[in-house]
Amino acid sequence: MRYVLLVLMGAGMAWGVDTTLLHAPKQKLLETQREAVLLNALKNELGILNPLSFSLSQSQAQGASSDNISDTTAWSLSWSQDIFRSGGIYFAWDATERSKIYNLHAVDIDAATQMSTLFALVLQLQRNALELAQSDYTVANRTIEVTLNRLRYEAGEIDITVLNNSIMDKNSAQKSRLALAQTLAQNKEELAKLTPKSYESITLPRFVKPDLSHYVQNNLVYLRENLNAQTAQSNAAVTLTSYLPKIALSASYGYQNVRSDSALATYDGNTYSMGITASIPLAANSLTAVQEAQVNVLKAKASADVQKIEAGAKYAQAMRTIDYYEGRKAIAQENIALYEELMKVTQIEAKSGYKTQYDIDILQNSRAIEALELQINEINIQIEWTKLYFATKEQS
Question: What mean pLDDT comes out for the span 78-96?
Answer: 75
**If DSSP codes are grouped into helix, strand and coil, which group holds residue 1?**
coil
Domain with CATH 2.20.200 in the chain: 51-84+246-279
**In the predicted structure, residue 268 carries a pLDDT above the cut 70:** yes
Provide the strand spans (E) within the chain. 3-5, 53-62, 69-84, 204-206, 246-260, 267-279
Using CA atoms, how far apart are residues 86 and 95, in angstroms rounded to an integer? 15
Question: What mean pLDDT comes out for the span 378-391?
Answer: 95
Length of the chain as a residue count:
396
Contact 33, 107 (CB under 8 A): yes
Using CA atoms, how far apart are residues 235 and 227, in angstroms rounded to an integer? 12
Of 27, 21, 53, nearest to 254 by C-alpha is 53
pLDDT band at 394 (very low <50, low <70, confident <90, very high): low
Provide the strand spans (E) within 129-245. 204-206
pLDDT band at 1 (very low <50, low <70, confident <90, very high): very low
**In the predicted structure, residue 395 carries a pLDDT above the cut 60:** no
Phi, psi of 279 (to 5 degrees): -150, 160
Contact 149, 158 (CB under 8 A): yes
Of residues 44 and 25, which shows the higher confidence score?
A: 25
The count of other CB atoms within 10 Å of the CB of residue 2 is 10
**If DSSP codes are grouped into helix, strand and coil, which group holds residue 251?**
strand
Long-range Cβ pairs for the range 131-134 (8 Å, 24+): 131/180, 131/372, 131/376, 132/177, 132/180, 132/181, 132/184, 133/372, 134/368, 134/369, 134/372, 134/373, 134/376
Parallel, antiparallel, or unpaired: how do β-strands 53-62 and 69-84 relate? antiparallel
Q: How many CA atoms lie within 13 A of 67 on its CB side?
A: 0
pLDDT band at 71 (very low <50, low <70, confident <90, very high): confident
The pLDDT score that the predictor gives to residue 15 is 41
The pLDDT score that the predictor gives to residue 68 is 58
pLDDT band at 7 (very low <50, low <70, confident <90, very high): very low
pLDDT tens digits for range 288-305: 988 999 999 999 999 999
Parallel, antiparallel, or unpaired: how do β-strands 246-260 and 69-84 relate? antiparallel
The pLDDT score that the predictor gives to residue 134 is 98
pLDDT tens digits for range 94-118: 889 999 999 999 999 999 999 999 9
Of residues 209 and 83, which shows the higher confidence score?
A: 209
Contact 45, 93 (CB under 8 A): yes
> Which option is the CATH number for 3-48+85-125+189-243+284-389: 1.20.1600.10, 3.30.420.10, 3.40.50.720, 1.20.140.10?
1.20.1600.10
The pLDDT score that the predictor gives to residue 91 is 82
The pLDDT score that the predictor gives to residue 396 is 34
The pLDDT score that the predictor gives to residue 2 is 37
The count of other CB atoms within 10 Å of the CB of residue 296 is 18
% of the chain beyond a pLDDT of 90: 63
Please calculate the CA angle 2-8-13 and round it to the nearest 5 degrees: 150
pLDDT band at 10 (very low <50, low <70, confident <90, very high): very low
**If DSSP codes are grouped into helix, strand and coil, which group holds residue 6?**
coil
Using CA atoms, how far apart are residues 314 and 282, in angstroms rounded to an integer? 49
**In the predicted structure, residue 3 carries a pLDDT above the cut 70:** no
**If DSSP codes are grouped into helix, strand and coil, which group holds residue 271?**
strand
Residue 388, CA distances (Å) to 20, 101, 326 in order: 20, 23, 17
Give the burial string for 167-206 (b: 16+ CB within 10 Å, else e).
bebbeebeebbeebeebbeebeeebeebbeeebeebebbe
Contact 277, 205 (CB under 8 A): no
Provide the strand spans (E) within 31-182. 53-62, 69-84
Tell me the whole-structure pTM to 2 decimals.
0.80
Domain with CATH 1.20.1600.10 in the chain: 3-48+85-125+189-243+284-389
pLDDT tens digits for range 112-158: 999 999 999 999 999 999 999 999 999 999 999 999 999 999 999 99
Asked if the 51-84+246-279 domain carries CATH number 2.20.200, the reply is yes
The pLDDT score that the predictor gives to residue 257 is 78
Using CA atoms, how far apart are residues 96 and 234, in angstroms rounded to an integer? 9
Question: What mean pLDDT comes out for the span 358-369?
Answer: 96
pLDDT band at 11 (very low <50, low <70, confident <90, very high): very low
